[in-house]
Structure 1
Amino acid sequence: MEDIAKLRKKWGSVSTEVKDGITVHYIRQFRSVFLDTLYKVDVYLPPDYDASTRSKLPLLFFNDGQDMAQVKLTKTLHRLFLEEKIPSIIVVAIHAGDRLHEYGAARQADYRNRGNKAGQYSRFVTQELLPFIRHHYPCHPHPSQAAFAGFSLGGLSALDIVWNHPQHFKMAGIFSGALWWRHCDFTKDNPDACRIIHEMIHADKYRPGLKFWLQTGTMDEKDDRNNNGIIDAIDDTLDLIKELKSKGYSDADIYYREVEGGIHHPYTWGQVLPEFLEWAFGK
């Protein structure tokens, strides 16, 4: 574990700021060899953080780290810490790079070849960034104390990474997940076919210990491709829950939150962020 001065020696463009009582380390040039890309990564630390502590803190990774201000992460963390709703945790927010190609399902791009770098992105997270964070910050070593979350396509990516890397993460937070992601174009004859994440979970074995938090908004969208009176965002999420239950996951492993009037926007995601944090890390 190292303090900010030592991090600067290694990474140069590292700055720090205190927002709402939360210390934030801004790493501006984290290089991924797998993607040959420099990433912006923000690390949020609790008020009682001590670089020399022996305490091991739960860990939360977030895709779309550039949206943390919009979802009011620091204000939410500050309140939950103050009210002792959650213990001290470390949040790692990864700013999106080539979002449409890096987020997705690692095993298969969509029918327009979007998500074709999702495999490299997964390796960046699990083989480059996660080891760095665990080396430099006092993280709890057990995956049951590690979550990965994201919004929309970032939520799909987070779910894919958790599902395929249970040795690193045991909890997935999917806010308005882009679960429609498909490997073939829409057809009227079979409107729900080809959904990549549903097919992946259907084909795979049960992963012990995984937990899933899923959220939709009744105004996430207006599309209803199968004309059943339920918007696709909700349909796809409910169908995913069915797949998870068919694998052996119970209601205790799955939390579903449907926000009446909720929209596909950080405003809604920020409203339910406290619920997710308490679900994942609540005392």
Structure 2
Amino acid sequence: MPVSGLRGFLDDFMQWLRQIPVSRKPFIAHHLASEFLDRKVIVDVYHTNKSKNQPIFFFLDGQDLRTMPIRAMQQQLSDEGYSSFTVVGIHANEARMWEYGTISRADYGDRGNRAPETAHFILEELIPFLQKRYFVSQAPSQNHVGGFSLGALVAFDMAWHYPQQFGTAGIFSGALWWRSRPFNKKLPDANRILHNQVAEASSLPPVRYWFQAGTKDEDGDRNQNGIIDAIDDTLQLMDLLRQQGQPESDLHYLEIPDGRHEPATWAVAMPDFFRWALRNGAEGF
């Protein structure tokens, strides 16, 4: 599909979703004072009030959800027979490069050195707050964590380290290049933290993984194999999971022709993630 064709599809898709009747206020914004992050965190909650024990979707870089018709998607899936679910957008701020990263270690530039504090905020402050205020499920199989770009890196890592809290991870255009040492032209694929984390694991956590990438996510091809890095990193990480014994039924990949590294593309992918997570989450482990 040419770029112009994709743009037209995106415009038509978003216009169609916006025609679905929803409440005038799509989300409730909370400003939570976090002791772990030592700041107030903006958290948007898209909640339907239609049922109790709703599955819940957490999104890192959740500020991008404000550009998407999330409530219209919730309504559309409800019309299709899916259970009501809650969506939570966790905003990043100027500290993003330090608060977002991998829990086990910072990258080679010490970026992501506050990733553990972000995890503690979500687990010990945000989740208890939501469970007290909203009718959301407390079952891990009904808790899903997703993210965009660097937020997607965090989503994978959160689910990996805390499978007792999250049953599914959604990786939208993930920054999976995150590495422990600077780029080396002689070893272009070396030192990627998540890839090594999976390859060196003695066992896999019981988590399902949904991945998305777009063919126009970027132009880089560091190993010169004809595949852009965003897709290459994603497919290689999925292969490592398979080699470690991840069931094929617990992996899903969506590649969007001419999809870019932007919320408009992620909005097109979002219903697929919701449907896949809700179908599989309902089955339990």
Residue aligning to 1:185: 182
Cα deviation for residue 142 of structure 1 reads 1.3
Taking the aligned partners of 1:129 and 1:260, their CA distance within structure 2 comes to 36
- The equivalent residue for 2:10 is none
Q: Which runs of 5+ in 1 are unaligned?
A: 1-18, 50-54
Query: Are the counterparts in 1 of residues 169 and 209 from structure 2 also a CA contact under 8 Å?
Result: yes
| Distance in 1 separating the partners of 2:230 and 2:68 | 20
CA contact (8 A) 1:156 1:179 kept: yes
Looking at structure 1, the residues matched to 55 and 235 of structure 2 have their Cα atoms a distance apart, in angstroms, of 29
Counterpart code for 1:153: L
Residue 226 of structure 1 is matched in structure 2 by 223
CA distance in 1, matches of 2:85, 2:145: 13
Pairing 1:106–2:109 present: no
How far is 1:23 from its partner? Answer: 5.3
Alignment partner of 1:37 out of 36, 39, 62: 39
User: Are 1:244 and 2:238 an aligned pair?
Assistant: no
> Distance in 2 between the 1:66 and 1:202 partners?
32
| Structure 2 residue aligned with 1:25 | 28
In the alignment, which residue of structure 2 is the partner of 1:270? 267
Deviation, 1:251, is 1.3
Segment of structure 1 superposing worse, 146-155 or 197-206: 197-206
Relative to the length of structure 2, the TM-score reads: 0.86
* Greater helix fraction, Structure 1 or Structure 2: 2
Q: Percent identity?
A: 43
Cα distance in 2, alignment partners of residues 71 and 179 from structure 1: 24
Q: How does 1:1-283 map to 2 (within 5 A)?
A: 20-21=22-23, 24-28=27-31, 30-46=32-48, 48=50, 55-84=52-81, 86-97=82-93, 98-282=95-279
TM-score under structure 1 length normalisation: 0.87
In structure 2, how many angstroms separate the alpha carbons of the residues matched to 1:269 and 1:23?
A: 18
Measured after TM superposition, the shift of residue 47 of structure 1 is 5.3
> Which residue in 2 is equivalent to 1:7?
none
Q: How many residues align?
A: 258
Q: Which runs of 5+ in 2 are unaligned?
A: 1-20
Q: Is the 8 A contact 1:144 1:209 kept in 2?
A: no
Paired residues of 2:146 and 2:170 also in contact (CA < 8 A): yes
